[in-house]
Structure 1
Amino acid sequence: MVNIIAVDDSALNGSSTGRIHFLLADFEFTGADALHNSRMTFFFSEEQSNSCNKRGVNPMEPACPRVMISGRVKKLDTTSPEYEDNMEAFNNRHKHFKIWVQAHHFYLNELEIENIFIVAYQGGPRTIDAEDYYNAQL
């Protein structure tokens, strides 16, 4: 199943946490699919910011960097102390979702990252170990 999903990786102060949060609802096909198979892959391309196009680079070329991050969907515990902070950080980035969450019973999830593949320039995809990703110090 393929779908466009709003994501957020920020803390309340706007800094990146590296943890990919997103909303799902059981009635929506991506949420329903995740209930049966929790594996999910996210695809991010530099073209999302239109920068490849501005440089005259086709999004399919290796000169337009992209990353594929896969893992398992983890529904976050609504009673945990950090749930409200994570939800508020998500709403800071995606203000229109605040209404949808209550009206359509969306719930916050995190991708438990297992694989990271980066394609940037020549040489094929590079693999980043998930443990290295989570332990990175910025």
Structure 2
Amino acid sequence: MNPALRGREPALCASINPAEPELPPDRGREVLRAAGPGQQHRLAAAGAAVPINSNASLTVSLAQTPYCKKHRYDPQNPLCAHIIFCGSIVKVNDSEAGIAKKALFSRHPEMESWPKDHNWFFAKFNITNIWVLDYFGGLKIVTPEEYYSVKP
């Protein structure tokens, strides 16, 4: 491990698997609930590991959709809204593994045949803080309880 990176939060590219219709509604918004297999491998490649520092953040922006371009909003304009999730990456327990596998492999079927000797594991993003920037005047704070209680 690179000593300069020890204990730091690595930036990772992760697939976000939105709620699948057949999954329980309360399980659909654990943003990275099926982040692995691969998270451990990518964390090791980044020079860090979950047990050292499992803290993570994820920003999702309307700039990733056609919305901002359609309205001619610069991606840095607060009207091109984004949400910031903060929390920690945690391995799923045995009862959650089936849901995580179904979610991941429904989106990325090829991954099911990837080598097993890479120590893949399934993880979820335990959200502790949520900030929304969607207008001028600063961030809005949304609690995880508020976030999970919204009916899609």
Instruction: State the TM-score, normalized to the length of structure 2.
Output: 0.74
1:18 counterpart (9, 29, 34): 29
Q: Deviations over 1:91-126 (max 9, x none)?
A: 212334323373633211111111000111222111
Letter in 1 for 2:17: D
Quote the sequence identity (%): 21
1:43 Cα deviation (Å)?
Answer: 0.8
Unaligned runs of 5+ in 2: 1-9
Aligned residues: 136
How do 1:68-87 residues align onto structure 2 when only pairs under 5 Å count?
68-77=84-93, 79-80=94-95, 82-87=96-101
Are residues 97 and 52 of structure 1, via their aligned partners in 2, closer, same or farther at CA, if it must alter by over 3 Å? Answer: farther
Matched, 1:43 2:59: yes
Indicate conservation of the 8 Å contact 1:25/1:32, yes or no: no
Are residues 55 and 103 of structure 1, via their aligned partners in 2, closer, same or farther at CA, if it must alter by over 3 Å? Answer: farther
Instruction: State the TM-score, normalized to the length of structure 1.
Output: 0.81
Counterpart in the other structure of 1:102: 116
Are residues 102 and 51 of structure 1, via their aligned partners in 2, closer, same or farther at CA, if it must alter by over 3 Å? Answer: farther
Letter in 1 for 2:83: V
Indicate conservation of the 8 Å contact 2:12/2:42, yes or no: no
Root-mean-square deviation (CA, aligned residues, Å) is 2.5
**More off after superposition, 82-91 vs 7-16:** 7-16
